[in-house]
Amino acid sequence: MVTEILKQYDKFVIYGAQVIAYGACTAIKGLCGREPEYFVVGKPQGLTKFPTENPEEIEGIQIRSIDEVSKDTFIVVAVTELVQREVLPYLKENGYSNVFPLTQREEHLLMSAYYKKIGKFPNVSSKDNSCEAVDFKIYEVMNDKDKPLSCHPELYPYEQPIQAGAALAEKTIADVKDNTGDNISERNRMYCEMSAVYWVWKNAKHDWVGIEHYRRHLLVKPDMLNDDVDVILPLPYICYPNEAAQFRRFISEDVLNALLKALKDLHPDQYEEYHSILYGQYQYTYNMQCARWDVFDNYCKWFFEITEYMETMADKVPEIKTTRALSYVAEVLTNIYYMSHQKDLKIYHIEKEIYT
């Protein structure tokens, strides 16, 4: 794990300045009391533009250009694996030899160790093989516009591809499509993967149901599903300065205000709690989950009541219907729902695997 490798170096920097980098910084500091000299970012010539919506510093630690880093500096690369595909060759070509890529696996190990130390967000573990016959289906959401993967994992019998936005698609890519039965497939451009979630909610029924993506899988196994578990989620990210700021990177102030109004109008008694979660640091992302059917059902009732209420505000906030703003709202709502149920649901966490 990266904390062990860091013992070999007096100083280090973290490449990145968003949630993965901030989470890594927080975890390293919490586990071994060390901070990076600074965060570094870069925009190598000839490669895709790296994220630039970065502050000048994070909790007093400066953000600098990679060009200012000496070649022998130990660099923890804490960006998504998609961006790592561009960053790592650049670092190698430019003589940076002490590089540690924080892969999805390494990030999971680091954050699991940190959360265990502070007593939050426990991981699920396999019990035995007695639950292999459980009625469980995890739906792998895909769209006909998805970019091809270099390789696609072989699916387990309990994984079922589902085509989101099938009503708008130019071709069929899965046997199960979200445009049959009770559906919102035609609103997929607004809802993205949540149009498939709606279809599962209205047209399927399993003791346990899961949602994952064609390029992101939850590594859930049937023997993890037992009476001690209500829902399994990926570990949350840690946002700086809060989840609302992360959300605002993708949507306008008008959409944020529409969400706040919907929460207050529909759930006045819970509004203060929801608001504090939105302006807190933790964020479940990607709308991936594996839950008991009754938990999934309650989540969907709550979720779609709010988004459909927001749709009624589209006259004043047109981007609710003209952009994918609701898909970003979806991540915020999924986070609010499960963060607000930390005490009454048995929530556990599992590693996710990302395919490129």
State yes or no: cis peptide before 153, omega within 30 of 0.
no
The answer to whether the predicted template modeling score (pTM) of the entire model surpasses 0.75 is yes
354 DSSP 8-state letter = E
CATH 3.40.50 residue ranges of the chain are 2-118
pLDDT of residue 56: 82
pLDDT of residue 125: 86
Q: What CA–CA distances, in Å, run from 141 to 75, 176, 192, 307?
A: 35, 10, 10, 20
pLDDT of residue 128: 62
Per residue in 73-84, pLDDT (tens digit) is 999 999 999 899
How far is C-alpha 259 from the chain's CA centre? 19
> DSSP assignment of 202-261, as one string?
HH---SEEEEEESSEEE---GGG-STT-SEEEEPPEE-SS-HHHHHHTTS-HHHHHHHHH
pLDDT of residue 151: 87
- Which residues in the chain land under pLDDT 70? 43-53, 128-132
pLDDT of residue 51: 47
pLDDT of residue 41: 93
Q: Are strands 61-65 and 39-41 parallel, antiparallel or unpaired?
A: parallel
Sign (positive/negative) of CA torsion 119, 125, 131, 134?
A: positive
Task: Give the right CATH number for 2-118 from 2.70.70, 3.40.50, 2.10.260, 2.60.120.
Answer: 3.40.50
